[in-house]
Amino acid sequence: MLSVLIPTYNYNIVTLVKQVKQQCDALGILYEIIAADDFSDKEYTLDNRVINSLTNCRLIENSSNMGRTYTRRLLAETTQYDMLLFLDADVLPVKETFIKDYLPYITDKALAVFGGYSYTPEPPEKNRILRYKYGRCREEKPVDIRKQNPYGFVFSGNILLRKDVFMENNFNGEGKFYGLDVWFSYSLFRSGVPVIQIHNPIYHLGIEENEVFFKKALDSVATKKQLMESFPEIGMVNPLMKSYRLLKKYRLTAIIKAGFKLTEPLMRKMILKNNPSLFVLDIYRLGYLCSL
């Protein structure tokens, strides 16, 4: 009936697996929980091997670090059920009815269902505030907002979908890239796969340090630029790429690039300060995109 799939790297996912297992057991449904360790440090791998002792649960261990996209594909290939629920390693269900609230879409074999992200009300320490603020303001959106642009809110950390839909739309290229959720959402859009937005969130707990998240944000921009070179329509589902397409249309990218070089140090300070500006982060990413 349901295959819950969790890729992990250097993160202890035992609590997550146990919570999901408890909910599945209480419902009396057919299920399996499969986690894949992407060649983590030994301490995390040893901790997560406890999963193998739990009924209907198992841990796959990659022999080298293959990246999240490959690992998700590997997980999907090993399942025995047609409905897949992908969860990131650094999340926990907000509600005790998390699996139950997905159940109607599992039995109806809905194509793709996104439950949403949430963040705890208590902010983290200042050196992690950028990721937290970005999550609260950009990812934690109510259902009514997400429904207005369903393909703009497709995150692999909490998504239910049919196995064939995942296999047909997952990125199949080689290499490890950060920020490939935009490819998946674009592929669903291009294929005409309906995305259902519901209120069934997870808490995103893995809040990176400011510098780490800032680098990841730029890596994601580079991925988007690389994808857009081959698939120009990808800008239709991503606000940043929409803005870039508009600048390119009116031949303004060179001007933005020049302005970016002059203001980059100041903008970086405004992004990495104790009260970071997400508006400046958007401008920075757009300038960085034009400079690539």
Which residue in this structure is represented by tokens 């995390």?
44
Residues 6+ apart with CB under 8 A from 163: 3, 76, 79, 81, 82, 83, 84
- What are the structure tokens assigned to 21, written together? 């297992």
pLDDT at 175 over 60: no
CA dist 238 → 126, 133, 143, 250 (Å): 29, 20, 18, 19
pTM (whole model) above 0.75: yes
Section 262-270 average pLDDT: 97
For 24-68, write each residue's pLDDT tens digit.
999 999 999 999 999 999 999 999 999 999 999 999 999 999 988
Confidence of residue 145 (pLDDT cuts 50, 70, 90): very high
For 75-117, write each residue's pLDDT tens digit.
999 999 999 999 999 999 999 999 999 999 999 999 999 999 9
Among 88, 194, 198, CA closest to 141: 198
